[in-house]
Copies of this chain bind each other. A is one copy, B any other.
Amino acid sequence: MVEAIQVDTMERVVSLCKRRGIILQSSEIYGGLASCWDYGPYGVLLKNNVKRAWWRTVVQAREDMVGLDAAILMRPEVWHASGHIETFHDPLVDCKSCKQRFRADQLISANCPVCGGELTEPRNFNLMFKTFMGPVEDSAALVYLRPETAQGIFVNFRNVMTATRRKPPFGIAQIGKAFRNEITPGNFTFRTREFEQMEIEYFCPPEEADAIWERWVEERFRWYRDLGIRSEQLRKRQQSATELAHYARATVDIEYRFPFGWSELEGIANRTDYDLAQHSRHSGQDLSYFDEETKQHYLPYVVEPSAGADRATLAFLVDAFAEQSDDKGEIRTVLQLHHQLAPIKVAILPLSKKPELTEPARRIAEALRAWWTVEFDVTGSIGKRYRRQDEIGTPYCLTLDFASLDDHAVTIRDRDSMCQERVPVVDVIPYLQEKLATKITNLQSDTIFSK
């Protein structure tokens, strides 16, 4: 019973996404492309807000972090060194009767789950997408679409460290697309063949790695909480020795309870010096750090908090999704997204289509657009318009009525409490700044210069 409700929740989120243009099926007019999704007008704003919130927290707000944006196409040697060419594969079996193909490690019985036929022996299938660069289609020009952004960071480690005059501990952060030719993608945008990662490689003296790893686990967990994910829907799970990747000494997964079960949003791994050692060996370049204080060369250890931008976006969406009684006792669908993530911050809703109201409303919209994403909506009853904004998670609706022409004030409605406040138009910007937490506090002499 609980499970049925849960599945239903997922269906309703997917249906809301399609109806309101949050997430749409790729190439839908041609029948769609399996497991590929497009972010529509509200979806791209939401996902950009997720990426920006991550970047602000892990790069902008920290002294010890820098960013990077490496190309998707890299030298094939990178994937030899990383081990992806040798080991990044799934075991595949074919049904000898119906010819369908399955992942051997996901089968429950020894026979085909579709027709009961006999299965072939498992064969390894590499998950990297291949393509050819340059006009000649031969092995010399074979390149891969990166299956992870991490390697772009490792191969740039030395150049970035030198150019920015950093020394360990410091980290490099990157957001970008990666591609995996998954046999069984699914669960909406949770597992797709094209996806976007938000990865950090944090380089540190080996003896500090364990403590730093623990700190990153806490900090990354807090990030999801701070952006509003309910604590009972979020957990840390340490991988067992048998689950660990060959390069990892310890990994904690941050999992969200999706309607389809607890699933990984982010893994925080202690990768030791595996990656830098591999790239040193394969490239013949010295990637060690020379510590001028101790006069020692060492290969930094790497702590890797690796998150999925699409998964995080989906978790924020699912977690924010609610169906509640509205102020008239009717059921309203609302996305209770954190203000920082909401695609539209303010909707401007003149109560009538008459120019007396729409003209000043448009002027307000235009002024607010300099700072926030704003939607202007004049169609339908005010109740209907509130519900439209609730569905996409707009925290504030600003209404102009005919009284506004006399008192020069507007009504601002809060998405969550549904309370309305009358606010003089001159106070609208400070009001929203306060509510949307974008008000800057001045520096205080005594705090800055305290001993």
Binding site for B on A (CB under 8 A): 18-21, 24, 26-34, 36-41, 43-45, 47-48, 60-63, 66-75, 77-78, 92, 101, 125, 129-136, 143, 145, 152, 155-156, 158-160, 162-165, 172, 174, 177, 179, 181, 183, 193-194, 279, 282-283, 285, 287, 360, 362-367, 369-371, 373-374, 376, 379, 404-405, 408, 424-430, 433, 440-445, 447-449
Contact = CB atoms under 8 A, between A and B. Distances in A.
Contacts of A426: 442-445
Given A21-B163, A131-B145, A360-B449, A101 B136 contact: yes
Contacts of A44: 67-69, 174
B425 A433 contact: no
Contacts of A101: 135-136
A20 B164 CA distance: 7
B193 A30 contact: no
A44 to B, nearest CB: 4
Given A27-B155, A135-B181, A193-B133, A440 B445 contact: no
A365 B61 CA distance: 9
A32 B75 CA distance: 7
A41 B68 contact: yes
Contact of A69 (B38, B78, B133): B38
Contacts of A440: 370-371, 429, 433
Given A44-B68, A135-B183, A152-B38, A364 B425 contact: no
Contact of A38 (B34, B47, B71, B179): B71
The 8 closest A-B pairs by CB, nearest first: A21-B163, A41-B66, A27-B75, A39-B69, A38-B70, A44-B69, A29-B283, A30-B75
Given A29-B283, A426-B442, A442-B426, A448 B363 contact: yes
Nearest to A47: B69
A159 B125 contact: no
A426 to B, nearest CB: 6
Contacts of A174: 44
Contact of A159 (B28, B37, B45, B77): B28
Nearest to A444: B426
A156 B38 contact: yes
A369 B60 contact: yes
A163 B17 CA distance: 10
A24 B19 CA distance: 43
A74 B27 contact: yes
Given A41-B67, A164-B41, A370-B61, A74 B429 contact: no
A74 to B, nearest CB: 5
A21 B172 CA distance: 12
Contacts of A66: 41
Contacts of A62: 369
20 contacts: A21-B159, A21-B160, A21-B163, A38-B156, A41-B160, A41-B172, A60-B374, A73-B193, A92-B135, A132-B181, A133-B181, A133-B193, A360-B449, A363-B447, A364-B448, A367-B443, A370-B440, A404-B449, A408-B445, A425-B448
Contact of A449 (B30, B32, B130, B425): B425
A6 B18 CA distance: 52
